[in-house]
Amino acid sequence: MSIDPHHNVVPRLPNHSRRTFLQSAAGGIGSLALTAMLAGEGRGAGHGQSHHAAKAKRVIQIFCPGGMSQVDTFDYKPELDKRDGSAFDPDGQLQFFASKPGNCRGSHWKFRRHGQSGLWMSDLFPRLATCIDDLAFLYSMHSKTALHGPACFMMNTGFTLPGFPSMGAWVTYGLGSEAEDLPAFVVLPDPRGLPPGGIINWGAGFLPAQHQATTLDTTDPQHPIADLFPPTDFDQVTPASDRAGLSFLQRLNQLHRQTRPGDTELDARIKAYEMAARLQLSAPEATDLSRESQATRNLYQTDHPDVGPFGRQCLLARRLVERGVRFVQLYCGAENTTAKKIRPNWDSHEDLPRDHGYWGAVLDGGASALLKDLKQRGMLDETLVICTTEFGRQPAAQGNGLGRDHNAGAFTAWLAGGGVRGGIGFGATDELGFKAVENPTYSYDLHATALHLLGIDHTRLTYYHNGIERRLTDVHGHVLKPILA
């Protein structure tokens, strides 16, 4: 195949030559510079580079940090309700993250069957329940660790250690962008703050930096991307002087370039300034929610004091994927920063009805609106929506309180759209929801499946780093065929 220097899509070559290409390109020696953050003019030219036909073209991933309880949300455990109040660990053998287990504690919300599928969902999610036939639940998720930071890393990168590329980085590394003038990988952190482990949750790790996410700041529609424009109080800069400065810069760059033939990196850098100027037009347009109809804004409850901030992020996610952004990750919750009345994420150690009650309504409003909106616009078929958390919570109460401690042994994730079969469940936990017992599955299988839907064979998406051809799925991972449409 030919390599088009104006296009960001990484060519799919056999492993070794592909690696040589990427590394020489990335290493910056006498080779192409990848300008992969934006696609530039080459749209369409590089597609069909995937390993097989893709069902999904793009991904929206909702991440609920803190540890969402499976037994209060999606994983119905009648036996747990029955044993409510009886000893969970009579021999006192177990030691959880922060506590010894208290008694069994049944779901804080009533479960009901919904939709044609008749799957169960708790009353925490009345709106999402109406979408149940579009959702495929993975009831048997588990994690390698019950620590927030490492578990968030694992769910995002496949490794419990920091420094590995996140799924969004891998996807843009593999597929590039189909957006003309927008970043390929966008993250919308919770407006209340960063998730556990910080911004390296969406870092590029050892992949070239252009694969890291761009975070959009939705609180400032005129300035959604850092440094998109000069600071407004810097009075020596005006739009006119900006343009003149850029044109002078490029003129000088051209003169410099003329005496240095054969160096495509210099060309790429000249081009990057042109693309930057285009981004200045496209990013504010994409983030301007006032262009949406009142009905749409109502659907997302954008003015609701609690649900609104997340609803707006969901609406923005739809606008972004509509414009060709490949991977959008949304956070529904922040880090355990300063203690407030309600915890800033799902980490409900003391009072689960209070904290899950709050965050449940937030997720319910935003996620249901997103699914309905995508569906009604005919976009859900090609948009893979994933909702996950880093681990689950214990079926036992934490001490005598209303909370639950961390549980790496079981949690539920769900997927929808993008080639996913709706209205089914995969795997199962034991009768109390303590451990995944039927088809236990780590992040690897979820990642392998998501990549598969995007047309990527997870075993062949590799990058050499310090001795190893690294993968998102390490040496593991199987595509979960039962949930494919």
Partner 1 sequence: MVRNRLLAFAMVLLVTSASSRGADSLLDFQSQVAPILQRHCIRCHSPNNNQGELSLATLDDLRANDYVIAGDPESSYLLELITPTDGQPAAMPKESNPLSDAEVALIRQWIVQGATWPSDVVVKERSKADETWWALQPLRVAKRISSDSNISDAPLPPASIDEFVRGKLADKQLKMNPPADRRTLIRRVTFDLIGLPPTPQDVESFVDDSDPMAYEKLVDRLLASPHYGERYARHWLDLAHYADTHGFERDMRRDNAWRYRDYVIESFNEDKPYDRFVQEQIAGDVLWPDDDQAVIATGFLSAGPWDFVGQVETKSDQLRRSARVLDLDDMTTQVMTTTMAMTVNCARCHDHKLDPISQREYYQLQSVFAGVRREARVVSDSSLKAYESAKQQWVRRRNQIDFELARLEGDGLDLADIVGGGNGSGTGTFRQGIDVRNAKVQTRDFGRLGNVVPNRFAASDFDFVDGVFVPSGEAGQAKVPVTSTGITISGLPTTSGDAWDMIRNGPVASQHSPELDGIDFTQDGHSLLGLHANAGITFDLSAIRQSLADGAAETSPGMPLRFTAQLGYFGASGPHRADAWVFVDGRNVAEFKQLGREDGLQPIDLELSAAVRFLTLVSTDGGNGMGHDQIGFGDPRIRPKTSPTRSDADAHRIETLRGERDQVTAELDALGPPPRFYGVVAEKDLPEVRLLTRGNPETPSGDVLPPSALSALAMLDPELGTVTTDEGQRRVALARWITSIDNPLVRRVIVNRLWYWHFGQGLVDTPSDFGFGGGRPSHPELLDWLAEALVHHDWSLKAMHRLIVTSDTYKQSSRHREPAAKVDAENRLLWRQNRQRIEAEAIRDAVLFVSGKLNLRRGGPGFEDFDYQDAYAPIYTYTTADRPELWRRSIYRYIVRTTPDRFLTTLDCPDPANLTPKRITTTTPLQSLALFNNDFMLRQARYFAQRIGREAGTDPAAQVDRAFALALGRQPSQQEAQLATEFVDRQGLFALCRSLFNLNEFVYVD
Sole binder of partner 1 in the list 7, 9, 10, 36 (CB under 8 A): 36
Q: What one-character-per-residue DSSP string does 273-317 give? A: HHHHHHHHHHHHHHH-GGGS-HHHHHHTTTT-TTTHHHHHHHHHH
Our CB check for partner 1 shows the closer of 111 and 173 to be 173
| Token output for 409 | 């042994």
- List the interface residues with partner 1, window 143-162 (CB under 8 A): 144-150, 160-162
Our CB check for partner 1 shows the closer of 81 and 464 to be 464
Residue 414 contacts residue 74 (beta carbons within 8 Å)? yes
Residue 172 neighbours by CB under 8 Å, 6+ apart: 36, 184, 185, 211, 326, 327
Sole binder of partner 1 in the list 46, 174, 176, 203 (CB under 8 A): 203
Our CB check for partner 1 shows the closer of 18 and 257 to be 257
Sole binder of partner 1 in the list 3, 45, 266, 484 (CB under 8 A): 266
Strand locations in 399-447 (E): 406-407, 411-416, 424-426, 428-429, 436-438
Sole binder of partner 1 in the list 66, 189, 196, 311 (CB under 8 A): 196
Sole binder of partner 1 in the list 339, 341, 378, 400 (CB under 8 A): 339
Give the nearest distance from C-beta 101 to partner 1 in angstroms: 12
- Residue 104, helix vs strand vs coil: strand
Our CB check for partner 1 shows the closer of 97 and 437 to be 97
Our CB check for partner 1 shows the closer of 124 and 408 to be 408
The alpha-helical segments, DSSP class H, found in 68-197 are: 78-82, 148-157, 167-175
- List the interface residues with partner 1, window 295-324 (CB under 8 A): none
33 binds partner 1 (CB under 8 A): yes
Sole binder of partner 1 in the list 276, 289, 424, 479 (CB under 8 A): 276
21 binds partner 1 (CB under 8 A): no
CB atoms within 10 A of CB 2: 8
3 binds partner 1 (CB under 8 A): no
**Count of positions on this chain that bind partner 1 (CB under 8 A):** 92
CA-CA distance, 414 to 230, in Å (whole number)? 41
Our CB check for partner 1 shows the closer of 231 and 378 to be 231
Our CB check for partner 1 shows the closer of 79 and 265 to be 265
272 binds partner 1 (CB under 8 A): yes
Cα-only R_g, the chain: 23
Give the nearest distance from C-beta 87 to partner 1 in angstroms: 19
Sole binder of partner 1 in the list 41, 48, 52, 98 (CB under 8 A): 98
Opening angle at CA 201, ends 198 and 205, nearest 5: 115
Q: What are the backbone dihedrals phi and psi of residue 435, each rounded to the nearest 5 degrees, phi first?
A: -140, 145
Residue 56 contacts residue 454 (beta carbons within 8 Å)? yes
Our CB check for partner 1 shows the closer of 12 and 100 to be 100
42 binds partner 1 (CB under 8 A): no
Strands 111-114 and 135-141: unpaired
Largest Cα separation within the chain, whole Å, is 81
CA-CA distance, 79 to 81, in Å (whole number)? 5
50 binds partner 1 (CB under 8 A): no
Amino acid symbol at 34? L
Q: Which residues pair with 137 in a beta bridge?
A: 414, 425
14 binds partner 1 (CB under 8 A): no
Question: By CB under 8 A, which span of 113-121, 204-212, 303-311, 394-402 interacts with partner 1?
Answer: 204-212
Residues 190, 154, 363, 325: is their CA dihedral positive or negative? positive
Give the nearest distance from C-beta 153 to partner 1 in angstroms: 9
Our CB check for partner 1 shows the closer of 86 and 258 to be 258
244 binds partner 1 (CB under 8 A): yes
Strands 383-388 and 411-416: antiparallel
Question: By CB under 8 A, which span of 132-140, 250-258, 310-318, 432-440 interacts with partner 1?
Answer: 250-258
Our CB check for partner 1 shows the closer of 86 and 236 to be 236
281 binds partner 1 (CB under 8 A): no
- List the interface residues with partner 1, window 426-465 (CB under 8 A): 464
Site of tokens 């790429």: 268
Question: By CB under 8 A, which span of 35-43, 101-109, 131-139, 416-424 interacts with partner 1?
Answer: 35-43
Sole binder of partner 1 in the list 11, 42, 115, 193 (CB under 8 A): 193
Residue 419 contacts residue 384 (beta carbons within 8 Å)? yes
CB atoms within 10 A of CB 478: 14
| Token output for 228 | 């998109």
Q: What are the backbone dihedrals phi and psi of residue 342, each rounded to the nearest 5 degrees, phi first?
A: -105, 135
- List the interface residues with partner 1, window 76-95 (CB under 8 A): 95
Binding string to partner 1 for residues 223 to 242, with x set by CB under 8 A, is what?
--xxxxxxx--x-xx---x-
401 binds partner 1 (CB under 8 A): no
